Structure 1
């Protein structure tokens, strides 16, 4: 989905080199380790040489001239791929090697990333990525670092350069808004620093006050419903629960109001359960963070710390009634459509019709009294109302705690939009959560912010600067090859009944593919209209973020009652990512990922299919994972599988849950249930892409080897797949992944997937029973 303002940002530090390295070179008398040869003056060097030495010198000059001539002639060849004849002692079947620049560059990259001293049949991740991990320490200010982050770094720089160009060079008003927003974030004139916490204090006053800051707030006159409406419907903040206008999962051609459980401040409920600020360093850091922010806003430190402890205890109680994500994977089971009256009965503490009408009045929509909504967490809402009524809304002290929590939750994300003192307050919490508290250069996170707020405007700039039509054409051919291979493979699945198989093939055929970028973003009128309601001012970074939150809310409300656009993109073009939309039955591959090292039209197809092809297969397989399979080819959730086939599918997924649940991350294990959908997609995507590559080879013949890489192209396919996941992370960041992420850690995305692949075991000749070729394998697709 489109990155939100609260998503973790990809950050890095750029190592800069002097532009001019040809400056003065002072003579240094210190021994540098080089061998210095002294010559005596007087007799010339040539005259002092013997006849044999003179002959050898001439021969060397002649050979050097021949080599230079050959290099010049090869450089002038028109062909994209050049070949060098090799001797018969090479381990390849072919006697030619690809010497194009792309081949030489990627061969060097493969060799530097790999650790060929490792046994590929024991630990293929070490074999593929050992060199990369050794040569790529986590950069300054980062908690994770990998191939995705390095490519995003390149994309960031492209966006930065365009955003910093003269305004008259930009194509339209929308792009100039993106530039203005970026400048407000960079804050080169120090406006944000000079204003300190004033913008947030003014916002708190508008909402009604925050007891922690010592503002004029009164528990006796506090109106819970009114505050809830202001935070949700005016500032799009969303404490206690979430709601939005979305496609109805059971009727994806229409929009519906959806209500769900709330989100916690920390990444997972596991950071709260059975822990206190006295015995847990993360909760202690969270307490310090709330305290420092409130003190900066005018609160008394001793009193603030006491009240902040109460806030964390309330949030811990919310964590206890929130359903864990691994128990919410069956979307059909948690889907509850009900009338507004039924919602009122389920959660009577809020006047729901008044709440929703308050929101929709902003777009001149009058809701019907028999309004239907979809609730994904009725049990949570019921428990929430009981908790708040019995413990927090029944006493003045309880109201103080609830107000403090709601304001802390709503204002926390805006702290980073204030001066350095406020941003520094977050450092210790970030250190506790992800293992680093180092600063980064401002422009990095400002590019991220701009991409989140005006991503299709900055995306249009990125596309014009960086995306080639040839990249899109070959990528579209590849996805069709992967789709064909996936459909052919379904015919071999004995666990599927024939009727379900035919419907699955129809769904795979119906999947819409989107490559690169939505073409309309290059239309200035379209782009200007898209962002027409968003006001951006250069010296108002804090206010720009408030305006964006309101803009996003209004745009969402305006969907209600309108036809669904099933070709809408929810990810910006520069994103190094891809996604599958179940309600649209659509796979999307932004321009940002259609680049090396994932993909290059000049690369051998083995590498393209191994990296980008597996990404394509991964997203396609999501249409048939444990959640995607519940949606038919039209994007509607219903049971279109035979009951016996569903049961056999679930038996196969149990194998995968058990497999991944055995993998360790520090003192934790991977959550096999939480990561099931992604693991199914990884395994299915690998198989579909390798089958597609086999079909390509059958049609086009074998590819010539890469220089210096003594591997077949089938072996290179699996190495290319694996090197996409080369990465490093702090122990704290790994903990966040284990507890909160729907993906397995990178290491196990390689080991888990390849150890299930008979194709991999055959190509690397791994003995049966070895780590990478276990006797028992899990396979779904």
Structure 2
């Protein structure tokens, strides 16, 4: 029901599975640990020189193995005074000299040992992280030719694509760990009195379906909805044309099942008055992830052929005859192709410009734009059960009015049976994975062709993710209690301030920005709200329980639990219409491995799930923390000033606060980046530099701000001890840590799908594109000018 306009750090880690797309590296083969032999041999386990005095007769210096000294001792009482005085003066002088020489050797050994201790960090955490960094690197690759290969060249050998995934990355690894934590919690007896947390467990149990209730029910739960509430489905022979009511069908779909086949209606902050929520409407989604899979394609195309096969299989599982299913599903597919033909693709500058997209209208205006739907009755039906009255003068922001008008014409000119079949098919696709294994298998068979996924994910993985999607903040409370260290929130908040300060210090150095805009940009940066870890209310059982009080769940009713969740969230979001925008409301759940910027709130958010290694660890060197989490923070801060974010002022309002000359110079800077990224190639397909521009600006600006924040940290605290075995200083480690966040692998099909649908550049080129624009990177790795990672001409915006 509600669409959130935000810029997130990462696209989904698995295009059609539940992974949101970080890694804890595997243990090394001992190379890092072995490197400690040369430096720790002169120390006790505490790292200190130990001097033991047993008794006056014997003094022993232990562990002096440097410079050829293993163990030296003498017995003071066994050297008689008589023998000493009987020796010649020369002998006594030589003996004193020898003793002084021995003392000198001991002192040198101590100094060398102390120097080595200061040079290298030999804590368990340092040795472990050095090992994990080495495990992903290809040391044979030239960092100045391809830094992604240098950083991640062996990552996929140690992290092969798991069963049930079409993509795998550091994000996926960390999300897998988070899900394992939650699985163990949900499968145990909860020591809690929170009804919300118990509801999360009930939902998970119903999904796991140990008693096979889902299998026994088969298609019945969905068929009951279609036949009893939606007038039946012609594909299964239960449709009654004499009682068919198009508007009633679309009302029930939207209100009870959050399904909107021909448009996307949502409530969100008004771009031009960010303190108020307002109705908004945009174009609908498509049958497939991108119009290119549908336009000018026939069943001979592998993807479209697999899709029609799935459609027929599902229809047969619901009672259709095969021949009739083929005929009717082909008509539904053709209708979906017609929608794709009129859809607006966000590939042009004006399509991404919020100012160009914004059209403030009324319901009366909308009726004129899209007359196929009775809008006033639709909205009044939708808000029935709330205390909100909708009239024909209700304001609504209309996006893509041309699409909505063409969509209306298509509905009115098409066979009503085909239109109805299409609506029911959209509902079926949204709910079929809640049914028995045969439905999930049919979906997987298609997904295998579309994205290359080789198997269905383990049930527990799906169920943890579904629980997170359904009751994520109740689940988040359990995650925070079991997996989130208390100090992480304060440390992250401190790091955000450091990176934000670095961003602001860079503003005077931007030659394309005029002084007034520079001042306003600093004010906007100061006004950015940061939310860290989790919303505080989830650790207050009374407040958490109150937030889920109206949701009733049953541990043996998985399908109906999902329907109740849909209706619960629809009602909750409808109730926001007359309320002031809640700037403390989270749009991601705490376990998620991601982050985002919300322009209407001027807000950056970092869930607890990402505040872990390899992004951040309190025992890691600061270079890696700034290269990981610091760049993430810089990325989200820079989104406030990317090609779309820059159009919103410090209060989140769509408003031109830059002067025209600065806008023109900014656009020239960004065109460099569009051209740069458009040259990158994945399996013969080019990256869309226009679609990915906002994320590329954020990557480049985020890296720069985080690096300068780290340099400031060094100025205040001094250089860190080196990590063993890597042969890299900490400025180089900063860039390595950044790069290894993006180590990943995928099937060829998933790689193509990402290019077509994701606003993020593929991981390899997020590393190469960003670092090849960095003078500091080239300086640290001594890359010659003109080398692939140090081109003569670089792109810079922030």
TM > 0.5 between the two? yes
**2:47–2:117 Cα contact (<8 Å) kept:** no
> Do residues 482 (structure 1) and 503 (structure 2) align?
no
> Do residues 579 (structure 1) and 596 (structure 2) align?
yes
Displacement of 1:147 after TM fit? 0.4
Displacement of 1:508 after TM fit? 0.2
Instruction: Give the SS at the match of 2:530.
Output: strand
Q: 2:279 aligns with which of 243, 257, 280?
A: 257
- CA offsets 1:495-538 (integer angstroms, 9 cap, x no match): 01111111010000010111111111101111111111212111
> How far apart, CA to CA, are the structure 2 residues paired with 1:657 and 1:10?
29
> How far apart, CA to CA, are the structure 2 residues paired with 1:776 and 1:686?
18
User: For structure 1, which segment, 210-219 or 551-560, has the greater mean C-alpha deviation from structure 2 after superposition?
Assistant: 210-219
Displacement of 1:95 after TM fit? 5.6
> How far apart, CA to CA, are the structure 1 residues paired with 2:170 and 2:592?
13
> Do residues 302 (structure 1) and 346 (structure 2) align?
no
> Do residues 389 (structure 1) and 412 (structure 2) align?
yes
Displacement of 1:171 after TM fit? 3.8
Match of 2:357 in 1: 334
**CA spacing shift, 1:582–1:7, aligned 2, 3 Å:** farther
* 1:674-693 map, 5 Å: 674-693=691-710
Displacement of 1:94 after TM fit? 9.3
Q: 2:457 aligns with which of 415, 440, 464?
A: 440
> Do residues 147 (structure 1) and 189 (structure 2) align?
no
* 1:365-764 map, 5 Å: 365-390=388-413, 392=414, 398-764=415-781
Displacement of 1:140 after TM fit? 1.2
Gaps of 5+ in 2: 24-36, 51-64, 68-108
> How far apart, CA to CA, are the structure 2 residues paired with 1:271 and 1:436?
18
Q: 2:202 aligns with which of 168, 180, 185?
A: 180
**1:94–1:705 Cα contact (<8 Å) kept:** no
Displacement of 1:559 after TM fit? 0.4
> How far apart, CA to CA, are the structure 2 residues paired with 1:208 and 1:474?
53
* 1:266-277 map, 5 Å: 266-277=288-299
- CA offsets 1:31-81 (integer angstroms, 9 cap, x no match): xxxxxxxxxxxxxxxxxxxxxxxxxxxxxxxxx9xx99955445999xxxx
> Do residues 245 (structure 1) and 273 (structure 2) align?
no
**CA spacing shift, 1:761–1:213, aligned 2, 3 Å:** same
Displacement of 1:218 after TM fit? 2.4
User: For structure 1, which segment, 722-731 or 332-341, has the greater mean C-alpha deviation from structure 2 after superposition?
Assistant: 332-341
**CA spacing shift, 1:317–1:734, aligned 2, 3 Å:** same
Q: 2:119 aligns with which of 85, 96, 109?
A: 96
Match of 2:308 in 1: 287
**How many residues end up aligned between the 2 structures?**
715
> How far apart, CA to CA, are the structure 1 residues paired with 2:715 and 2:690?
38
> How far apart, CA to CA, are the structure 1 residues paired with 2:20 and 2:616?
23
> Do residues 121 (structure 1) and 130 (structure 2) align?
no
Instruction: Give the SS at the match of 1:369.
Output: coil
> Do residues 135 (structure 1) and 152 (structure 2) align?
no
**CA spacing shift, 1:93–1:735, aligned 2, 3 Å:** farther
Match of 2:786 in 1: 769
Displacement of 1:8 after TM fit? 3.7
**2:269–2:275 Cα contact (<8 Å) kept:** yes
Displacement of 1:366 after TM fit? 1.3
Displacement of 1:93 after TM fit? 11
Match of 1:312 in 2: 333
**2:785–2:792 Cα contact (<8 Å) kept:** yes
Q: 2:18 aligns with which of 9, 18, 30?
A: 9
> Do residues 192 (structure 1) and 214 (structure 2) align?
yes
> How far apart, CA to CA, are the structure 1 residues paired with 2:233 and 2:193?
47
TM-score normalised by the chain length of structure 2: 0.86
- CA offsets 1:666-717 (integer angstroms, 9 cap, x no match): 1211111111110000000000000111111111111110011100111000
Instruction: Give the SS at the match of 1:491.
Output: helix
Match of 1:108 in 2: 131
Displacement of 1:723 after TM fit? 0.2
Q: 2:187 aligns with which of 149, 164, 177?
A: 164
> How far apart, CA to CA, are the structure 2 residues paired with 1:237 and 1:347?
18
- Aligned-residue Cα RMSD (Å) equals 2.5
User: For structure 1, which segment, 471-480 or 585-594, has the greater mean C-alpha deviation from structure 2 after superposition?
Assistant: 471-480
- CA offsets 1:174-231 (integer angstroms, 9 cap, x no match): 0000000000000011100111111111111133244354242123432111111111
> How far apart, CA to CA, are the structure 1 residues paired with 2:283 and 2:211?
42
TM-score normalised by the chain length of structure 1: 0.88
Displacement of 1:166 after TM fit? 1.3
Displacement of 1:7 after TM fit? 6.9
Instruction: Give the SS at the match of 1:246.
Output: strand
> How far apart, CA to CA, are the structure 1 residues paired with 2:20 and 2:628?
23
Match of 2:228 in 1: 206
**1:6–1:413 Cα contact (<8 Å) kept:** no
Instruction: Give the SS at the match of 1:361.
Output: coil
**2:20–2:171 Cα contact (<8 Å) kept:** no
Displacement of 1:615 after TM fit? 0.2
> How far apart, CA to CA, are the structure 2 residues paired with 1:528 and 1:215?
44
Gaps of 5+ in 1: 15-63, 78-83, 393-397
**CA spacing shift, 1:243–1:567, aligned 2, 3 Å:** same
**1:335–1:374 Cα contact (<8 Å) kept:** yes
Match of 1:345 in 2: 368
> How far apart, CA to CA, are the structure 2 residues paired with 1:89 and 1:257?
71
